[in-house]
């Protein structure tokens, strides 16, 4: 019954009697799930400082905490309000107790800790709370709470390298940020020094982070400090969301996860940087992924652009670097692949696009394939110019798909479904099944042709169109072209749905 009660009820029950107090605390402290809502008319501090004071006074309560989720929707876009997460300064009694803990744990840089606590540093408060949670299993922090963090990474590294033993031995899931709009507008990011130690957590299974242009100059020092610790063999899922990184950074992280099975590799670039920033050689990305070739089962590669004044949108990958990336046939355990078509087939908008065969590029182990066409679909609130001609790109990708599925038994014996993913604004006032409608992204979807290809191969096929309505809100429309479990059903147009991220 207590497991079904909310935190307010549990707190009330804990005040009734001593027996209920202990029972209620088990549930009250097991899950710290706080979302902070900023109101400039009446600032309301989350109980971070209260929690710190409580744990300092009653360290046994820290052993009850298994999940921590601290989030703030507004702070994703309002960096200036970080100072409102805690009062301007902590009281002297709390600071003294905190410094006693810092000395007991052996954390370095005492003066820096004292200064940060005196100034009410959110980073320092969160780090001290985490340092006491020996039984923590899940950690989720809004990216704005770890932006350029110093103390969270310091605590992680120290407890793993120096304290050892049971420190964070139960931590299985770490998430710094989300795959949503907002963070990219302010370059909010996690610090590489707090990410690297996560790869040495003994029980970690999934790590989700966002990093921008990480400074790897500290990597040799970190590597030396962590060299006696074995990389986590349990880490199977790594999701890099909206990262302004290069293939060499990806390789560094992939090599730290020898048992990697699921990888989301999300790139972010600013549109203004496309003219002068160093290009990405996507062939280098393929090389960066090779250390995981024998273990990887799911791979997503995503490329996003933003001009800081509008929503994130997509552009041809040839604007960002050199394509294609090369064959993925060495990834013989790969089951699911979500990838921009350009990375496989090259720039299809050229007058004479290079002829690439998907059967030469994809491993026969694939069960699910999603092709994202960055070459034909994009829109920006600051630039409404029509995109380049897309006839070559659309037809070339369809031809490549037909060729790939023509001998499915040889090239894709395990393939079950294919999704074609487009972004734009195709459905307003028009049927997606109308092959004559071109619309603002010049897209003859050719649903009947795609259905015939799917029918002949026995593979389920659908088309998805995603439109960014405004920051944090997307609309999605889709066509189910063919379902082998219901082969006689005609293509179905699914009504648009809108999701608030």
pLDDT in tens, 258-276: 999 999 998 887 766 545 4
The answer to whether residue 2 scores a pLDDT higher than 60 is no
Mean pLDDT computed over every residue of the chain: 77
pLDDT for 280 beyond 60: yes
pLDDT at 416: 97
Residue 256 contacts residue 231 (beta carbons within 8 Å): yes
Q: Is the pLDDT of residue 114 over 90?
A: yes
pLDDT band at 346 (very low <50, low <70, confident <90, very high): confident
pLDDT for the residue 24:
62
User: What distance lies between CA 329 and its chain's CA centroid?
Assistant: 25
Q: What's the CA gap between 280 and 411, in Å, rounded?
A: 29
pLDDT at 197: 85
Strand pairing category for 280-281 and 237-243: unpaired
The answer to whether 332 and 363 are in contact (CB under 8 A) is yes
CA torsion through residues 305, 309, 310, 316, sign: negative
Q: What is the pLDDT of residue 293?
A: 97
The string of DSSP codes covering 366-419 is -SEEEEE-TTT---BTTB-PPPPP-HHHHHHHHHHHHHHHTTHHHH-TT--EEE
Dist CA 450 CA 482 (whole Å): 9
Return the DSSP state at 157.
H
Q: What is the pLDDT of residues 10-42, one digit of tens each?
A: 555 555 555 555 556 676 788 888 876 555 554
Residue with tokens 């949108």: 313
Q: Tokens representing 443?
A: 């897209």
Instruction: Return the pLDDT at 82.
Output: 53
Q: From CA 234, how far away is CA 238, in angstroms rounded? A: 11
- Picking from 202, 158, 155, 152, the residue whose alpha carbon sits closest to that of residue 176 is 152
At residue 129, the 3 state secondary structure works out as helix
Q: Exposure of 79 by Cβ count < 10 A (0-12 exposed, 13-18 middle, 19+ buried)?
A: middle
pLDDT in tens, 286-332: 999 999 999 999 999 988 776 654 545 556 677 667 778 999 999 99
The CA distances from residue 451 to 81, 194, 314, 424, 487, in Å, are 52, 48, 27, 22, 10
* Per-residue model confidence as pLDDT tens digits over 195-210: 888 888 889 999 999 8
Average pLDDT over residues 273-289: 75
Q: Domain-by-domain residue ranges, the chain?
A: 1-30, 42-199+214-229, 237-271+279-303+314-461
- Bridge partners, 190 (sequence order): 147
Spell out the residues 6+ positions from residue 390 whose beta carbon is closer than 8 angstroms to its own.
349, 375, 376, 441, 442, 443
3-state DSSP helix/strand/coil % of the chain, to nearest 5: 40, 20, 40
Beta strands 67-71 and 138-141, pairing class: parallel
State the CATH architecture for 237-271+279-303+314-461.
Alpha-Beta Horseshoe (3.80)
Residue 493 has pLDDT above 60, yes or no: yes
Q: Model's pTM, two decimal places? A: 0.86
**How much of the chain, in percent, has pLDDT values that exceed 90?**
36
Q: How far apart are CA 430 and CA 450, in angstroms?
A: 19
- Which is nearest to 415 in space by CA: 426, 405, 428? 405
Six-digit token pair at 174? 């770490």
Distance from C-alpha of 283 to C-alpha of 326, rounded to nearest angstrom: 6
In angstroms, the CA 447 to CA 433 distance is: 6
Average pLDDT over residues 171-175: 95
Which of the pair, 228 or 491, is modelled with greater confidence?
491
191/222 Cα distance (integer angstroms) = 13
Asked whether residue 170 carries a pLDDT value surpassing 80, the answer given is yes
pLDDT per residue as tens digits for the range 44-98: 555 788 899 999 999 999 999 999 998 865 544 444 445 555 555 688 899 999 9
H helix intervals, 2-109? 7-14, 18-28, 48-57, 92-105
Other CB atoms closer than 10 Å to residue 152's CB: what's the count?
26
Contact 302, 276 (CB under 8 A): no
Q: Give 244-302 as a DSSP string.
A: B--HHHHHHHHTT-TT--EEEEEEEEEGGGGGTSPPEEHHHHHHHHGGGTTT--EEEEE
Which string of DSSP letters, residue by residue, matches 318-352? GGTEE------TT-TT--EEEEEHHHHH--TTSSS
- Which tokens sit at 335? 């089951």
Average pLDDT of span 444-461: 86
pLDDT at 276: 45
Name which residue leads in pLDDT, 276 or 479: 479
| Integer Cα distance of 145 and 41 in angstroms | 22
């Amino acid at each position: 019954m207590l497991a079904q009660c909310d935190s307010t009820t549990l707190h009330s029950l804990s005040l009734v009697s001593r027996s209920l107090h202990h029972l209620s605390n088990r549930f009250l402290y097991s899950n710290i799930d706080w979302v902070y809502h900023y109101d400039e008319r009446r600032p309301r501090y989350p109980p971070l400082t209260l929690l710190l004071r409580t744990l300092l006074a009653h360290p046994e309560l820290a052993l009850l905490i298994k999940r921590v989720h601290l989030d703030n929707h507004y702070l994703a876009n309002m960096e200036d309000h970080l100072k409102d997460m805690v009062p301007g300064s902590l009281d002297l009694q709390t600071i003294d107790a905190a410094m006693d803990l810092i000395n007991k744990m052996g954390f370095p840089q005492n003066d820096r800790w004292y200064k940060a606590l005196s100034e009410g540093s959110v980073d320092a408060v969160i780090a001290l709370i985490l340092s006491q949670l020996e039984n923590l299993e899940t950690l989720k922090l809004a990216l704005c709470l770890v932006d350029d963090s110093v103390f969270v990474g310091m605590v992680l590294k120290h407890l793993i390298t120096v304290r050892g033993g049971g420190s964070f031995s139960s931590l299985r899931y770490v998430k710094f940020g989300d795959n949503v709009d907002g963070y990219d507008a302010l370059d909010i990011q996690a610090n590489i020094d707090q990410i690297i130690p996560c790869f040495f957590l003994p029980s970690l299974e999934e790590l989700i982070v966002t990093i921008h242009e990480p400074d790897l100059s500290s990597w040799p020092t970190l590597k030396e400090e962590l060299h006696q610790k074995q990389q986590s063999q349990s880490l199977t899922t790594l999701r890099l969301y909206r990262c302004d990184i290069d293939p060499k950074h990806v390789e560094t992280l992939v090599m730290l996860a020898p048992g990697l099975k699921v990888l989301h590799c999300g790139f972010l670039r600013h549109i203004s940087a496309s003219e002068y920033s160093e290009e990405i050689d996507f062939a280098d990305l393929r090389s960066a992924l090779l250390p995981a070739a024998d273990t990887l089962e799911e791979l997503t590669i995503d490329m996003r652009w933003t001009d800081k004044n509008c929503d994130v949108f997509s552009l041809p990958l040839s604007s960002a670097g050199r394509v294609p990336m090369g064959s993925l046939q060495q990834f013989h355990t790969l089951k699911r692949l979500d990838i921009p078509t350009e990375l496989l087939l090259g720039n299809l908008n050229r007058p004479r696009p290079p002829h690439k065969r998907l059967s030469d590029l994809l491993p026969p182990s694939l069960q699910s394939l999603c092709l994202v066409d960055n070459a034909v679909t994009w829109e920006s609130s600051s630039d409404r110019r029509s995109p380049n001609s897309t006839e070559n790109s659309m037809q070339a990708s369809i031809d490549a798909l037909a060729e790939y599925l023509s001998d499915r038994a040889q090239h894709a014996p395990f393939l079950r479904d294919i999704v074609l993913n487009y972004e734009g604004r195709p459905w307003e006032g028009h049927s997606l099944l109308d092959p004559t409608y071109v619309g603002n992204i010049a897209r003859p979807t050719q649903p009947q042709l795609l259905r015939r290809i799917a029918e002949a191969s026995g593979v389920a096929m659908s088309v998805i169109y995603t439109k960014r309505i405004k920051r944090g809100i997307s609309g999605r429309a889709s066509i189910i072209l063919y379902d082998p479990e219901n082969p006689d059903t005609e293509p179905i147009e699914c009504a648009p749905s809108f999701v608030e991220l």
